[in-house]
Amino acid sequence: MDALTLLVNALNLHAKLVYSGGVCGRWLMDHNSDSSVWFHLLSKGQGWVHSPSRQTPLALDSGDLILFLPHAPRHFLSYSAEHLPCDAADTRLTGWENGESGFVCGEIELATPRSLLWQALPAEIVIKKNQAGDILAKLIELVVSETSGQRFGSDSVVERLCDSLFVLVIRYCIEENLVQDGVFAAMQDKRLATVLGLIHRQPWQPWTVAELCSRAGLSKTVLSEKFAALIGSSPIEYLIAWRLQIAAQWLKEPNMTIERVAERCGYDSAAAFSKAFKRCFKISPSTFRRIPE
């Protein structure tokens, strides 16, 4: 498997469908989060995005997709480019067939939203229908078709399709050069992608720089320089950070103790693990576990 697939699988990212249907009236959507990726697929009609990152509201048409990362500024979607309602009191939710506009809205929770991994992606990702490319366009079509059909299990099917949608969006950002640094940018370099694939596939392997270089066909100097330029760390520093990313996922699991996570990560003690975790995320594991999802 490639580096991106291994990364997504290890982080156990899953979409949660929040709304699927039509909207009428002077509608407003206020979906902001500092810990989740929010996505909005316009399946019917029109809508406008009001965001301080844009000089004028952005028009969305049927088949357009927009995602907001946790570092996006506060934003709103509404029925009008000229008018932004102060609240959602006039929003009328309807069945898809009766709505003036239709949406598929959902979120993907991130265990470590302030990680450089996610900060490297654009805060707002807009993919217009005519820019999506064949595979992504077909998947969007499937989501819209399943949403409008409302057959047995439709919501579950849409959620699984949106899992794939998020992966394709990341791939879109990589292939369209929307990421200039960080892990996703490094994946464009075939030899760096080999190293990242090894790390993502076997994070508990006691990798050395020499072994990674041998497997990727790179000298130590070149590997270190490439990692520093694109990822901002050494290969071993990234390996440690990746292990702690996985540990952060484990900390959110019910009945998982800090001691158990430390043991699974290969640390001699919970204290040593906590010190490394705090160095990476600027927060202790115990405080991190108390953050509501």
Look at domain 3-175 and name its CATH class. mainly beta
Straight-line distance from the first to the last Cα atom of the chain, in angstroms, rounded to the nearest whole number = 30
For residue range 228-268, list pLDDT tens digits in order.
999 999 999 999 999 999 999 899 888 889 999 999 888 88
CB neighbours (10 Å) of residue 82? 7
Q: CA 291 to CA 89: how far, in whole Å? A: 30
**DSSP characters over 178-203:** ---SSHHHHTTSHHHHHHHHHHHH-T
In this prediction, residue 226 carries a pLDDT of: 93
Look at domain 189-290 and name its CATH class. mainly alpha
Mean pLDDT throughout 217-236? 93
Residue 182 pLDDT > 80:
yes
Mean pLDDT throughout 152-177? 89
Residue 59 pLDDT > 80:
yes
Q: CA 17 to CA 69: how far, in whole Å? A: 16
Mean pLDDT throughout 149-153? 76
Could you tell me the pLDDT band of residue 208, with boundaries at 50, 70 and 90?
A: very high
In this prediction, residue 292 carries a pLDDT of: 66
* Single-letter amino acid, residue 106: G
Average pLDDT, the chain: 90
Q: Is 253 helix (H, G, I), strand (E, B) or coil?
A: coil
In 3-state terms the chain splits into helix, strand, coil percentages (rounded to 5) of 45, 20, 35
Domains of the chain: which residue ranges? 3-175, 189-290
For residue range 119-136, list pLDDT tens digits in order.
999 999 999 988 888 888
In this prediction, residue 209 carries a pLDDT of: 95
Residue 58 pLDDT > 70:
yes
